[in-house]
A and B are shown apart, each in its own frame.
Chain A
Amino acid sequence: MGAVGERLRRKNDPRLLVGHGRYVDDITVPHVVHASFVRSPLAHAEILGIDTEDARRARGVVAVFAGDEVANAMPLLPTAAADESPPRRPLTGDRVRYVGEAVAMVLAETAAQAEHAAALVAVDYEPLPVVLGPWKALAGDAPLVHPERGTNKIGEIHKVIGDPDGAFAAADHVVKRRHAVQRISASPLEPRGTLAVPEPATGELTVWMACQSPHTIRTWLSDILSIDESKLRVIAPDVGGGFGSKLNLYSDELAVMWGALQLGRPVKWTETRTENFTAAVHARDQIHHVEMALRADGKILGLRSHFVGDLGAYFHFFTPVVPDLTIDTLTGNYDIPSVDIKLEKVFTNTMSIEALRGSGRAEATFVLERMIEESAREIGMDPLEMRLLNLVSPEQLPYETPFELTYDSGDYPAMLSRAAELIGYEAIKGSQRNLREKGIYRGVGVATYNLLCGFSPSGHDWNPMKFFPGHETALIRVDPHGKTVVYSGLSPHGQGSDTVVAQLVADELQIPFDDIAVKHGDTETIPYGGGTHGSRGAVVGGHAALIAAQRVVAKAKDVAGAMLEASSEDVVYEGGSFRVAGSREPALAWQEVAEEAHFLKHSGPMFEPGLEATAFYDPPSVNFAFGATAAHVEVDVETGVVSIIEFVSVDDCGVALNPGIVDGQLHGGIAQGVGQALYEQVSHDEDGQVVSASFGSYLLPSAVEMPKLTMERFVTPSATPLGVRGVGESGTLATPAAIVNAVVDALEPFGVRVEQTPLRPNVLWELIHPEPTE
């Protein structure tokens, strides 16, 4: 029996569960100094002066870096769309543009001393007018985040495909709505951390960093710090979640490395939770004005959206392309022939927007699925029925979307029907009237998704960065005992990709799962890879491991052929033993071949010694995973509290290499979707203060808030060798819309119009009980 397809436990769980994980903060080196940052308390201000004298004199302080001169001596950070990007430096010396921007770095012998001294740095600010809110940022008289640009507008994309004007002219109904997707924070359990260890004698620099893509970081650092990549080593040790927020190189992280090089001493920095809320990237934050053109029977003829993306104050790695992804996925699983989508992107005095699990696509799914719901209700059609009428049917596949994405296979209507069946759609609808008479308001909502994932090939224009590989790698090295190490370019930080890779390789090499170790996250040992993000683990990294394993087997056949005095083409490998085709004897075990490959005792120099192979895999195209969700909710109309009675997720990720891991990925994604619908929000006050900078205000769903989940899988193998599709981000896409649609259904008698999330109790109550107008 093979390992693939089995619900095997994740290799790392026992170690992590007993507290033996080693995160950046757990790593100690001699002579280390600790960093603490002075961060801007204002969203927009000119820096008139920085007094570091008291801090320099404080106990244990080794150095304080601050001021225009120091900042300008520091290297620029890499950004997406470098031509359009305002310069971003490790410290800012003249101006602050968001709350939390690093102004000074204090290095001291202990972390407590560094933090104490940082509180002694006095910064003289001249406050400037603050610009918040994307539409306000576009106004002619808006204060400018980057005055030298002359505008807060970053760019405009306008895609008109098909005949939208004709569609709207011919429509029997046009439904217009506003949909806002609020700003959220990734909130990883482990905040960010960096430990930079320079070796002045050789010019080498080793960096431990809570990151998702160590090779990318290494290449950028080489450019930035003018250190050969051969002298740079980036290690992602155990990393406690990233969700996209650790895909960047941040200003504070680079400051720590730069400081270590200045001092010639190791420097360590561990982000506090409070810092993480302001100094780690945010996500989402789009406002759409949408119009849907419908025929009388509910057929969608066209879709218009004019939307704006609030990108914050600077570009990080993917900042400007996140909303671009929203455009290209705005028709989802539906056959909508004509579209007119206009996107404006703006700078504001806030932290940057970046990739976060489902980035761009989650916004699109929410807006589309809310819009269909609203359209169906407005024209008096059942929302489920309208979806079934408009979904791309299996007969239409392969289907090219208006945005030239080609959906390969699947059965979207069947999945939606199944989700509706599992939640008990008809029964819930049928009991609503009686329950409402008793004051019980329950509703059902559905939503579908199509996850564009496994971003590739490398050169495609989704990739705005000069150094950011789309490929993935694996090096498989078999030792003389036949045990095997896979060095994977993936950099899993909670996903379990290491376990999945071991399963794949175990089956291909026909050896036990437990004989395989998977290493990752260290540029000194791992071949050049892209890391973990964008639901690419199995889709890209899995195939790299598969190909490398196939190469190892081919090499092993060469060795076996030499031992069996046969041509390697005549050697078959099955059931874990090598034999000459057609003959029964003699057979060689894997371990015998592995030993011979290294010591050549029996076969002489008929092959190159060793048993290992490397593969680099750049997929020819992106991948798609899809599904349907349904939510059954109850709303307490007296308090506005939403309880999710049950949540159904029907997902197709192709072949599930490890069903337990697939379930876990979906659970986590759904949890984040629940958070987007009901709990999470980065909020600013009118001065740009992040008022949600603690878990007392930024509400994360916990186990208590998780609904009862009913999961079912469809399996439509993709056209890839493994038949896999992505899954890491899937749960985030349709979950929020299904929940909000269910709430709207529950509150039908009140006719509430939901335009923004999260639907916290007070927000929903105000919609149910609007203030009486005079």
Chain B
Amino acid sequence: MNKIFEIPLYPYTRSPDQDAQTPVRRKVVVVGAGPIGLAAAIDLAQQGIEAIVLDDNDKVSFGSRAICFAKRPLEILDRLGCGQEMVDKGVVWNLGKVFFGDRKVYEFNLLPEEGHRRPAFINLQQYYFEEYLVKRARALEAEGAPIELRGQNKVLDVTDKGDHTVLRISTPDGDYTLEADWLIACDGAGSPIRAMMGLDFVGRVFEDNFLIADVVMDADFPTERWFWFDPPFNKGQSALLHKQPDGVWRIDLQLGWDIDKEKEKKPENVIPRLRAMLGEDVTFDLEWVSIYTFQCRRMEKFRHNRVIFAGDSAHQVSPFGARGANSGLQDTDNLMWKLGLVIGGTAPETLLDSYDTERIHGADENILNSSRSTDFITPKSETSRIFRDAVLDLSEQYEFARPLVNSGRLSVPCTYDGSPLNTPDALPGGPARTRPGAPCPDAPLDNGYLLGDLGCRFTLLTVDADAPDTIDEAGITVPRLALSAADDATGALAARYLGDAKSAIYLVRPDQHVAARWDTYDETATRAAIRRATGQE
């Protein structure tokens, strides 16, 4: 049977653009058909904005790669029209076990908060993730949405022309030139576009190697995340076992710095390692093996005039915490509504500067968290190892030490505190988790969930408060979503949106972050907040 990642999903076909006498100008060109590039293009297409995706390949990612998708990206995918497929296929897990040496020191249950449509995380191979996004893009294309995937289209060079970008592209049929009003570079951590533009990617390289393997086996390991510090089968290093769909298990083994990568990747070297880990009597097939080193880096700024970087091309983190693809999806979610308003002529180009402000804030938070996890997992000095081992020893007996064990702080969305788009908090007694800049937490309603009702446009959410049904301000139409604390018998809506307040009004952005909130409706303040949230003040 062919694996999904061996089949060309968007094979090369000749585009009429290649035969044009003068280069064709496209609205938005997205470089890279990975999870972030595809999400970017789908978002644009749903807004009716032309998006052409170029990729030098024509298949989904080889091997599982990003495997852990958190709640927030799943909520974003719901808005992109493919969240359900991901959740249906994905593996939901809540239980984690931590081992130190030859013993289990403790286990934890993530006990996700009730009242959210989506689970805290799913495990899903990146190739499925991309396949579902490609399917969604194809479905949009079939409905007539302006989206196109061009496989085996490799960008050779990029020229900034002020109000547009000129791209030289190579294909199996030869080169052609294409112009783009906007170029979104989602071409990964090694971003060729970034290199062509001579832009720096500054940060820290971790001197370590990890062997990563996808193993197919019929073993009765439970659906849990198992993490080993200094296990007998990989002395002095760490290991991770995680379940994916289709009986595929993901194994990460830390190897250290001074190794021969080519040699370690050979099945005759990998299989004995896995046998030592899984047990002699477990039969398994090796589906994919890779060795990775990792780095925490980011660009100084993500927007360079008409070229905007998103995902790993803009910032790279270590894999601990699943902050790569998860944060990249939040990049495009942040960027695309703003770009839509700028392209539509509603908002000034300067609105896009808030993409830099907000997502650099997000990237720094992710880099900080992932660097700390890495420092715990792979101590860099004798003293840091002594402290690390002390934490693990204590964690077996004493609860207090368990929060100090850091095998990855799993991705949570960041709150854009201090963003220029925020209006100062005007809801006395309101919960901190829904302050201006925060991502809206979900809540159950009688006939569904809050986030589904918020949709992907500006919304005025009222909870036990009066306001007009719609407000038109500065080219933005803001419908009202009128709710009452009584709409949610579980009390989650009141706990998450009212706190100690009796009533609340939230101005929610298209990416479902809070722009402003008040206790009662004030027309002047609301209009000002809409202008502010769209860069028009």
**Are A and B a genuine interacting pair, yes or no?**
no
- A: residues with CB less than 8 A from B are none
